[in-house]
Amino acid sequence: MFENLTEKLNNVFKKITGKGRLTEENIKEALREVRIALLEADVNYKVVKDFVQRVQEKAIGQEVMESLTPGQQFIKIVRDELVSLMGDQNMGLNLSGKGPHSIMLVGLQGSGKTTTSAKLALFLRRKGRQPLLVPADVRRPAAIEQLKKLGGQIGIEVYSSLPSQDPVMICQDAVNRAREQGKDVVILDTAGRLHIDEALVEELVRIKEKTKPKEILLVADAMTGQDAVNVAKEFHQRLDLTGVILTKTEGDARGGAALSIKAVIDRPIKFVGVGEKLDALEVFHPERMASQILGMGDVLTLIEKAQTAFDEKQARELQKKLQKQKYDLEDFLNHIRQIKKLGSLEQILSMIPGMGFAKKLKEIKPEETELKKIEAIICSMTKEERRNFKIINGSRKRRIAKGSGTTVQEVNRLLKNFQETKKIMEEVSKKGYSKLYKLFR
């Protein structure tokens, strides 16, 4: 998300930091470009106007004009205003008090409500909650089956009901069932339409009245830009939303919805969907998102991802191996599999400061298929070959290539990359691998 905006803003910042001193004229010139960049990112026009005005008022102040690093001060003001625009900090879910607590997910068809219901259930279970999933969309039979299938994949119970039942009754009964079973969260996957109509809204209002949800979250497709903002306004007017979950953000290069929704409806974005996998739901942190927009990376989120993906026991064992210079292809394979848990290579690179620029990412061109090839090649080796790559001669390479559906050249490339990685890892170990690991814990 924000790929195009990041590139354009960084071009503006390069120009302004290159100037010896800031003047009212060159600040206004820079802000004209910022304004165009935001509008091209599909940010709401009024939001852009107010944003630019606030930045201008602060940037033309004496403190900035007389600063030793006026360009950096200007960037800081833009960052602070972006954070404020998106809500200052993550508000989290309101699940205090005695349960079961209902969370009502609403939105249009195609926004990803059903998948998001399962993602949210998985997220909450990992936080120690006991969720119950409720398929309340009886008009689209596939929605019920889809939620049951998703619930089965993550081992979370899905409330069973007859498709012909009234959605309001289904939700009421599900809350009672949750209370009997000791579940503390009930996630209501409500019906959607291709557009907002009176029948849909009336149904949702009745569900709200009967279940008294702690949270009413709009699930909005980030790729629809200002349409998502308009949908949010309409739902909020009738249901009094408590927050928003933006889906499909990994496919949205503009980011207009993320920068507009909070300012337009005064409700925070609480989560973002960052991929198709059921664990691809992340807490939305405005300050971290602002840093990513400005190409400053998001190291905190990367560390949090690493903490869930990397096993501490495995890390200690790896440290011992490195100290004894026994890092082998088995370890290499485990590393690759753990890295894949962090998300796509492009997502990982965008979180590293200085690596978030769209241009740099395009130059690097991280290929997910390469990781799959590496896995296939290593899995086609014998245990002995994985532990001692030096025994892999020409005939063994041909056998490995055939078994993995690759070429001998690709096997050779993997072995060369492994040797370089092994050298780096062992060098890191000499300089204190344990200290490095602790830094990321």
- Cα dihedral 381→387→393→394 (10° resolution): 20
The residue ranges of DSSP E strands in 258-315, in sequence order, are 269-273, 281-283
Strand ordering across the sheet containing 281-283: 131-136, 185-190, 101-106, 215-221, 243-247, 269-273, 281-283
Distance CA 331, CA 387 (A): 9
User: Which tokens in the block code for residue 22?
Assistant: 């800031």
Three-state DSSP class for residue 160: coil
Distance CA 10, CA 75 (A): 10
Distance CA 374, CA 405 (A): 11
Residue for token digits 């100290």?
323
Whole-number pLDDT of residue 222: 86
Residues 376 and 426 in one domain: yes
Instruction: List Cα–Cα distances, 372 to 68, 201, 305, 324, 376, in angstroms.
Output: 50, 46, 21, 29, 6
For residue 94, being part of any structural domain is answered with no
Distance CA 266, CA 244 (A): 11
Residues 376 and 259 in one domain: no
- What is the CATH number for 391? 1.10.260.30
Cβ neighbour number for residue 440 with a 10 Å cutoff:
12
Residue for token digits 């903490």?
307
Residue type at 87 in one-letter notation: G
Whole-number pLDDT of residue 186: 96
Residues 112 and 133 in one domain: yes
Distance CA 189, CA 144 (A): 9
User: Which tokens in the block code for residue 226?
Assistant: 């200002």
Whole-number pLDDT of residue 358: 44
Residues 122 and 208 in one domain: yes
Residue numbers of the chain with a pLDDT score lower than 50: 298-299, 354-366, 433-441
Residues 315 and 395 in one domain: yes
Distance CA 92, CA 114 (A): 21
Taking Cα atoms as reference points, which of 432, 441, 436, 424 lies closest to residue 327? 424
* Plot region of 191 (φ>0 → left; ψ -120 to 50 → alpha; else → beta): beta
What does the longest C-alpha to C-alpha distance in the chain come to?
74
- What is the CATH number for 71? 1.20.120.140
User: Which tokens in the block code for residue 86?
Assistant: 């998106």
Distance CA 257, CA 1 (A): 11
Distance CA 393, CA 49 (A): 66
For residue 404, being part of any structural domain is answered with yes
Residues 192 and 268 in one domain: yes
- Cα dihedral 356→360→362→367 (10° resolution): -80
Give me the number of domains the chain comprises. 3
Residues 150 and 192 in one domain: yes
Residues 70 and 182 in one domain: no
Whole-number pLDDT of residue 92: 85
- Which of 241, 269, 296 lies at the terminal end of a domain, its last residue? 296
Residues 266 and 198 in one domain: yes
Three-state DSSP class for residue 111: coil
For residue 92, being part of any structural domain is answered with no
Model pTM greater than 0.75? no
For 414, phi and psi rounded to 5 degrees? -60, -45
Residues 356 and 291 in one domain: no
Q: Is the dihedral of CA 386, 391, 394, 396 positive or negative?
A: negative
Pairing verdict, β 131-136 and 243-247 = unpaired
- Which of 86, 110, 133 lies at the terminal end of a domain, its last residue? 86
Domain that holds residue 282: 101-296
Distance CA 222, CA 154 (A): 25
Residues 72 and 143 in one domain: no
Whole-number pLDDT of residue 140: 80
- What is the CATH number for 271? 3.40.50.300
Whole-number pLDDT of residue 275: 84
